[in-house]
Amino acid sequence: MKASRTIFNLLLLLCCFFFKLSAQETLVNVYGRTTQSLNGKWEAIIDQYDQGRKNKIYLNKKPAGKTDFYEYAFDGGLKLNVPSDWNSQLPELKYYEGTVWYARHFDAPKTHRERLFIYFAAVSYRCKVYLNGKEIAEHEGGFTPFQVEITGLVKPSDNFLALEVNNTRTADAIPAKSFDWWNYGGITRDVMLVSTPKIFIQDYFIQLDKNHPDQINVKVKVVDKQKNVAVKVEIPELNIRQNLVTDDQGIASISMANLKKIQRWSPASPKLYQVLVSTKEDRAAEWIGFRNLAVKGTQIYLNEEPVFLKSISFHEEIPQRKGRAFSEADAMMLLSEAKALGCNMIRLAHYPQNEYTVRAAEKMGFLLWEETPIWQGIDFENQETKKKAGKMISEMVMRDKNRCAISFWGMANETQPSAARNEFLKYLIKCTKDIDSTRLITAAFDLVRFNPDKQRFVMDDPFINEIDVVAINKYMGWYHPWPVAPKKAIWDVASNKPLIISEFGAEALYGKTGDADVASSWSEDYQAQLYKDNLEMFKNIPNLNGISPWVLFDFRSPFRFHPTYQDGWNRKGLVSDQGFRKKAWYVIADYYKNIK
C-alpha cells in the first residue's frame, strides 16, 4: 500500500513537472465536496513595472545574515481581502491595471483523503500560481474557474502560495481593449483546497431528456478514465437508486425512462431534487431541477407551455460598494431586486457570474442566460484568441450544465458580420455543444436598421441561421432617434425565429426630474417615457418572446465621462447606485405584472 502510494505520488510529481503550466479540468459541483476555504486576508505587493517574477519574489526568501537583504517582503505590507477585486479596497487601486502579487500560508494536514487540489472560482484576468516557490499553473480569463492538483507538492504545514495576478487590457484578450464596465482585477472569487480520494467523481451531467419529459439522462465521469468503478446515482424523492459501472473512458451513463412523478422546475415553482452521486470512496451531493425547453416555429416553450421572458440584466457588481459581487449575500441583493421587478429571467451580463448567483437564481425561479465576454471589439482573426474563447466557453458550460435554470448559452454581444466572425462563433457553438447540446443557443445583435422603403425594421446577418433564438439590442429613443412614431415601428427581423429584445434603455440620474422630451435627457421622466415608447413598439414585433431592459442597476464604467450625470457611471439602471428605484422601474414592474 505504502509503495503504491509512493509510486502514485511520484507519477503525480512527474505529471506536475511536464504539465505544470496548464490548469486542469475542474471538478463539477466543487461546493458539494470536502473543502477548506483559503479566503481571508492575503498579503499583497503591487508590481506596477512587472519586476516581481524577475526577482523571484514567489520564493519568499528571508535574509539570513545581518548583511543579507531582499528588496521585497510579503509580511508586514499591504493586505487584501480574498475574494474581492483590488480596485474597491484601496483608493490608489481604483484605476489600477497591472500586476498585483497575492500570497498566503496554509496548512494541509493529512486527511484520509488522498488527493488535494487548489480551486480558484475566478481570478481576474490572468494569473500564474506558485506553490512553495514553484510555478504550478497559469490561467487566463477573469470569470471562469480553474484548479490545479497539489498532491505530492504540498507539505502538512506552512505551505506558501503566491499568485501573480494581472488585469492589463490587451487586444487579444476576452474582453478586449475596451468594454463598458469596470476592469476589476484580483482574486475576485472563492479560493479553496479540495480533497478527494484517489479515484474521484470528476464530472456528471444529469438532466431531463430534451424530448421526453419522463426521462432523466445521467452521465457520470470518474477521474483518469478509471474503468469498472461502481457508481451509484440516487434521487431519493423519486425513489431512484441506480447502480452503474464505468466503461474504459471512466464514464457511466443511463437513461431512465417512464418516470411518472417528476415535478418539473419552472419560475413559478422552482422545484429542485436532491441528487447523490457516489462511488465506494467518493460522494457528491446537490440539488438539481428538471424542465423542458424547446423552440417551435417562432415560439419558446417551457414545459410545453409558451413562455414570455420577463428578463433583466445586471453586472456582477454591488453598486454601493463599488466593487465586484462575490458572496451569497451579494447574490441575494442582486436577485431580490430582480424578483421585486417581477422578472422570470436574468441575462447575466456580460460574463459568467459567480456560482452563488447562478445557484440562488435557480432556487428563486429565474431562467438564466449566460455568456462569455465576447463583447464588441474581439479580434476574430486571431487564432489564439479563438482558442482562448473556446476554452472559456467550455469552462462556463462545464461549471453550469447541471443548472436547469440555464436556458440560453449566449455566444456573443454586438458583433459585426465577417467571415472570421462567423467562423469564430461557429467554433464557440461547437465547443458548447460538445459539452451540452440541449440548451438554446443565442447571441445579441445590434444591426437592426429602419428601411424607409419598406417602412420596417430589418436586419441582415446570415449568422442568425446558426442559432435558436435571435436577440436584439436596440436603443430606440437613446442612441437612435425614432424614424416613425413608436406605434408605427413595425419589425420584420428574423421573422422565422423567436426574438428577444436583449437590451434597450436610456440613462437617467436618480432624482433628476424633467419633461419627457429630448431636452430632458438624463432625467428619470425621459427614461420612463422612453420605456413606455419602447413597450409600445414591442407590440409590433410578431415573433417577440421576451424583453431584457438594460440594466437593473447603475454600474461603473470608464466609458462615461459626463461630470454631472455620469461621473464614471453608466446610468441606465432602473435602480440607482445608491439602491433607489427610478421611475422607469415602475413602468417595467407594471408591464411585467400585466403581460400575459
Which residues are near ligand GCB by CB under 6 A? Answer: 180, 350, 413-414, 446, 473, 503, 550, 570, 572
Between 87 and 473, name the residue whose CB sits nearer to ligand GCB.
Answer: 473
**179 versus 326: smaller Cβ distance to ligand GCB:** 179
Residues facing residue 164 across a β-bridge: 101, 128
Q: Which is nearer to ligand GCB, 102 or 550 (CB)?
A: 550
Task: Report in angstroms how near the CB of residue 319 gets to ligand GCB at its nearest.
Answer: 14
Q: How far apart are CA 524 and CA 532, in angstroms?
A: 12
Contact (Cβ atoms closer than 8 angstroms) between residue 256 and residue 214:
no
In degrees, rounded to 5, the angle at the alpha carbon of residue 468 between the alpha carbons of residues 465 and 470 is: 75
- Count other C-beta atoms under 10 Å from residue 209's C-beta: 17
Distance CA 147, CA 334 (A): 28
For the record, the C-alpha cell of 426 comes out as 461557429
Nearest distance, CB of residue 211 and ligand GCB, angstroms: 34
Bridge-based pairing of strands 201-208 and 240-245 is unpaired
Host H or E run for residue 467: none
Dihedral sign (CA 142, 146, 151, 157): positive
Q: Strand runs (DSSP E) across 400-508, as ranges?
A: 406-413, 440-445, 449-451, 456-458, 469-473, 490-491, 499-503
The least CB distance from residue 293 to ligand GCB, in Å, is: 24
d(CA 287, CA 275): 6
Q: Which residue is nearest to ligand GCB (CB)?
A: 180
Which residue's CB is nearer to ligand GCB, number 164 or number 371? 371
Minimum gap (Å) between residue 170 Cβ and ligand GCB: 19
Q: Which of 255, 259, 285 is nearest to 272 (CA)?
A: 285
Return the bridge partners of 138, or none. Answer: 22, 128
To the nearest whole angstrom, how small is the minimum distance from the Cβ of residue 306 to ligand GCB?
27
Cβ nearer to ligand GCB, comparing 80 with 334: 334
**Residue placing its CB nearer to ligand GCB in the complex, 152 or 377:** 377
CB of 180 to ligand GCB, least distance (A): 4
> Closest Cα to residue 403, out of 442, 444, 348, 445?
348
Nearest approach, Cβ of residue 498 and ligand GCB (Å): 20
* Nearest CB to ligand GCB, comparing residues 202 and 353: 353
Q: Which is nearer to ligand GCB, 430 or 480 (CB)?
A: 480
Residue number, 180 or 214, with CB nearest to ligand GCB: 180
The terminus-to-terminus CA distance of the chain in angstroms comes to 66
Nearer to ligand GCB, 80 or 470 (CB): 470
Q: Which helix (H) or strand (E) holds 295?
A: strand 293-296
Min. distance of Cβ 87 from ligand GCB in angstroms? 18
Laid out side by side, the sheet with 283-288 consists of 240-245, 230-235, 273-278, 283-288
Cβ pair 158, 107 in contact under 8 A: yes
- Contact between 353 and 338 (Cβ < 8 Å): no
Nearest approach, Cβ of residue 429 and ligand GCB (Å): 20
Cell of 131: 506553490
Alpha helices in 346-435 (DSSP H): 355-364, 383-400, 419-435
- We find the least distance from the C-beta atom of residue 353 to ligand GCB, in angstroms, to be 14
